[in-house]
Structure 1
Amino acid sequence: MKKLISLLLTGLMCANLTAPALAAEDTADTAAPGQTAITFTDMPSSPEFVESITWAVENGITTGMYDGQFWPDYTCNISQILTFIWRMSGSPEPAGENPFRDVPNGKWYAAAAVWAHDKGIVSGDTLHPDAPCTRAMTVTYLWRLAGSPSASASAFRDVKSTDDYAAAVAWGAENGIIKGITPTIFGPYNTCTRAHIVTFLYRYSASILAEVPAET
């Protein structure tokens, strides 16, 4: 837990130094996904990013930002990634009450945040919704969503076995959900862009959700 708190504080400092205001997400990317505009004027050149963004739009996980743009290099914050994960999971109604002191009821991401708390993806009474999401946070959220399964140790030199996110990173690497910055460096404290986030979710959907049998 101390490691995750350290990650969060690092993200908060990064937000103050590098991330622009996040007001655009409140109105643009949280609109009900009724229009599928897959071709964005700022679509990245990477084929995997293009495939991931297309998947995310087609499945109502994101609708893009303003003026036909996706903003792939824009830093993704905690409220955004939890909303994306919630939508990927079918946008279920949360069962519990809002436990967060910094998430007003009725806020665009409130249902996603409360649901994430219900599922054990996040905990505590403070979310820090505007803090940037790091790579370690992202894989930890997805690992918890999958039920916190065990995995063999990863080969990343910058992830110690004693780190709170070590099991999540090992699982993410084993299932092809995350890759390192290099074969031996994971970069747990690096913040994630919107393109990175939808790519992680796309890989999760292909690797983990594909293994879950459809309800009959």
Structure 2
Amino acid sequence: MGSRMVVTGIGNGLFKPDQQITRAEFVKILARGLGLKPESGSSPFSDVSSSDWYNEAVQTAYAYSLISGYGDGTFHPQDIITREQSMAIIAKAMKMTDLRAKLPRREAAVLLSPYADAASASGWAISGIADSLHAGIVTGRTSTMLAPKALFPERKLRFSCRD
């Protein structure tokens, strides 16, 4: 992802693979990974300014209906993204790329039934969680724990680079 400029690090030649991802960083990575045409302009979110480094990524994700923000008109770009938030966004990307249409239909309740904590997921996130699990893009924290409210990534990630 680094060689394809999807992930560029945090600046000054630094890349912190153990750092958790903010909502702004997540949508920037996803928009770049999908190769979406960057959007700019005034933000639909009161907490995203046109001068913010993430404005273009948030604008792009919003323009492509990957995000909708909170009911109060904010996006909370600096909050660490949760597993359920990331799965909901991933599921929207799956629909946009037709990946969702290629999967056989399965009920969300069936897909979530192995997870003892599935009931703790927010109602708005259920279908996105189910789609992400069904596609194998995201898995439970364990075979019986989904951890939808946990921060993403909740475990430290390790990346290796090869030339």
TM-score, length basis structure 1: 0.58
The count of corresponding residues between Structure 1 and Structure 2 is 144
How many percent of aligned residue pairs carry the same amino acid? Answer: 23
**Counterpart check, 1:127 vs 2:71:** no
Alignment of 1:1-216 (within 5 A): 56-65=1-10, 69-94=14-39, 97-124=42-69, 125-147=73-95, 149=100, 151-153=106-108, 154=111, 155-160=114-119, 163-193=123-153
Could you tell me how far apart the structure 2 residues matched to 1:145 and 1:157 are? 27
For residues 110 and 118 of structure 1, the distance between their equivalents in structure 2, rounded to whole angstroms, comes to 12
Counterpart AA for 1:127: F
Per the alignment, in what secondary structure is the counterpart of residue 118 of structure 2?
A: coil
Which amino acid in structure 2 is aligned with residue 75 of structure 1? Q
Q: For residues 159 and 180 of structure 1, what CA distance do their matches in structure 2 show?
A: 10
Q: Which has the higher helix share?
A: 1
Listed as ranges, the gaps of 5+ residues in structure 1 are 1-55, 200-216
CA contact 2:40–2:56 (8 Å) conserved in 1: no
Q: How far apart are the structure 1 equivalents of 2:42 and 2:149?
A: 31
Q: 1:67 to 1:162 in 2, by over 3 A?
A: closer
Name stretches of at least 5 consecutive residues in structure 2 with no aligned partner. none
Deviations 1:117-149 (A, max 9, x none): 112222143111111100111110010122284
Q: Give the TM-score normalised by structure 2.
A: 0.74
Letter in 1 for 2:118: V
Q: 1:98 to 1:70 in 2, by over 3 A?
A: same
CA RMSD of aligned residues (A): 2.9
